[in-house]
Amino acid sequence: MKAVQYQAYGDYNQNRVVDLPEPQAADGEVLVDMKAFGINPLDNTFRSGHFYAATPKNLPRIGGQTGVGIVAESKSADFAVGERVFVTGRGFGLVADGTWREYVAAPAAGLAKVPDHVDDAHAAAFLAGAGYLTAYLVLTEFTQFKEGQTVLAPGIGGAVGMEAVQLAKVFGASKAISTASTTAKAEQAKAAGHEHVIDLSRESMKDGVMRITDGKGVDVVIDGVSGKLTKDSVGSLAQGGLLAVVGYAGGREAEVDVTDIIWKAATIRGFTMRLFTPEKLGAAQAKLREYLAEKKLQPTVAKKFPLDQAPDAVRYLIEARPFGRVVMTA
Ligand SMILES: NC(=O)c1ccc[n+]([C@@H]2O[C@H](COP(=O)([O-])OP(=O)(O)OC[C@H]3O[C@@H](n4cnc5c(N)ncnc54)[C@H](OP(=O)(O)O)[C@@H]3O)[C@@H](O)[C@H]2O)c1
């Protein structure tokens, strides 16, 4: 079977196509014939070797944390041959071999049925960047988000920005705001139905937020960009607001005006999936799948690549600033 594996840490080209034996499903596992694969920025971080578990002992490794396929063999009562399933698994693509291969044998606990109306690529996009899951956990666990409240999630093209804005609307947000760094991307976002996208080439994020919220600021910021935007993320908060720091697509170092933290009585909290039990994460994913089945969420595919073009696909996600997820197909 074809698989994308890296044998050393390094640049995109370390993702090599290799030929490996098909895996066998053990008791309680399901063998899945993979059809589409998600790419997450973390897949790039990990293959680059910039991660706590990036040790020589952890090589070689098949990448990929998520994907979609058809059950080829089932040793679990929960899944039958022929069903279309989401595929994830503990440590996949990080400390265990991941989804980027023709066949995956995964514990049934990591699988779930895909709603019929969602095609393989969009199903892969639904899980790829974990933006829906991140936003769900911030809005339910870091704060009890209420209808009528407001959210800012910068970076409309990214998983965190786009998916947090969609989910905030499902939760009844009165304003769900994001940003784009170019006018072209802001217009693309508006054409896709995103009402409040601040064009950072024309105004600052804070000015945009204050314009849209009549000077009040937002109740929650879900920030996957950080860097130079962090100062405005804190400055965009309403009184008593919460900033969840989830990522650093725009840089690791940031400056803030501490008076924004003091006078707004702001909360700033770091977000990691490691805060949550497998049960909590499973319940959140189940709720999100319900929203997907009800057509309340719209996973967005920016570009599809064949699996054997994994180096180009990952580079495209990291460098091309796409509008939506980048997925690979079998
Ligand atoms: N802690 C967690 O559990 C968790 C969960 C999910 C994601 N993350 C992390 O969160 C970050 C974002 O994830 P993602 O999937 O949304 O990433 P992404 O697809 O790389 O998107 C990031 C967005 O950031 C914007 N951006 C990049 N550099 C910028 C800059 N200098 N100034 C302003 N905007 C900038 C881009 O928008 P423009 O094209 O408009 O510039 C892009 O759309 C990543 O670091 C990811 O690893 C963490």
For residue 18 the two structure tokens come to 């290799």
Asked if 263 and 217 count as a contact pair (C-beta separation under 8 A), the reply is no
The C-alpha atoms of residue 30 and residue 69 are separated, in whole angstroms, by 11
Residue 51: per-residue pLDDT: 87
User: Would the CB of 155 count as within 6 Å of ligand 1?
Assistant: yes
- Nearest-atom index, ligand 1, CA of 273: 3
For residue 323 the two structure tokens come to 């509008």
- Nearest-atom index, ligand 1, CA of 225: 24
DSSP 144-208: ---TT-EEE---TTSHHHHHHHHHHHHTT-SEEEEEESSHHHHHHHHHTT-SEEEETTTS-HHHH
Question: Ligand 1 center to residue 65 CA distance, Å?
Answer: 18
User: Would the CB of 164 count as within 6 Å of ligand 1?
Assistant: no
Whether the per-residue pLDDT at 66 is higher than 90: the answer is yes
Looking from the CA of 155 toward its CB, the CA atoms found within 13 Å total 28
What are the pLDDT digits (tens) for 8-33?
A: 999 999 999 999 999 999 999 999 99
Question: Ligand 1 center to residue 160 CA distance, Å?
Answer: 7
- Nearest-atom index, ligand 1, CA of 179: 40
What are the pLDDT digits (tens) for 169-219?
A: 999 999 999 999 999 999 999 999 999 999 999 999 999 999 999 999 999
User: Would the CB of 227 count as within 6 Å of ligand 1?
Assistant: yes
Whether the per-residue pLDDT at 250 is higher than 90: the answer is yes
pLDDT category at 53 given cuts 50, 70, 90 is confident
- Nearest-atom index, ligand 1, CA of 160: 16
Question: Ligand 1 center to residue 321 CA distance, Å?
Answer: 9
Nearest to 125 by CA among 247, 304, 1: 304
The residue that leads in pLDDT, 153 or 50, is 153
Asked if 296 and 170 count as a contact pair (C-beta separation under 8 A), the reply is yes
Question: Ligand 1 center to residue 23 CA distance, Å?
Answer: 34
The C-alpha atoms of residue 196 and residue 40 are separated, in whole angstroms, by 25
User: Would the CB of 322 count as within 6 Å of ligand 1?
Assistant: no
Domains (range + CATH), the chain: 2-118+299-329 (3.90.180.10), 131-274 (3.40.50.720)
DSSP 206-275: HHHHHHHTTT--EEEEEES--GGGHHHHHHTEEEEEEEEE---TT-S-----HHHHHHTT-EEEE--GGG
The pair phi, psi for residue 177, each rounded to 5°, is: -115, 145
Torsion of CA 267, 269, 273, 277, to 10 degrees: -60
Question: Ligand 1 center to residue 224 CA distance, Å?
Answer: 5
Whether the per-residue pLDDT at 88 is higher than 90: the answer is yes
Neighbour-count burial for 25-38, b at 16+ CB within 10 Å, e otherwise: beeebbbbbbbbbb
Asked if 322 and 302 count as a contact pair (C-beta separation under 8 A), the reply is yes
User: Would the CB of 324 count as within 6 Å of ligand 1?
Assistant: no
Model-wide pTM > 0.85? yes
Whether the per-residue pLDDT at 52 is higher than 90: the answer is no
Q: What is the mean pLDDT of residues 263-288?
A: 97
Question: Ligand 1 center to residue 73 CA distance, Å?
Answer: 37
Q: What angle do CA 144, 42, 271 make, to 5 degrees?
A: 25
Take atom 17 of ligand 1 and give the residue whose Cα is closest.
158
What percent of the residues of the chain are helix, what percent strand, and what percent coil, each to the nearest 5? 35, 25, 40
User: Would the CB of 273 count as within 6 Å of ligand 1?
Assistant: yes
Residue 124: per-residue pLDDT: 98
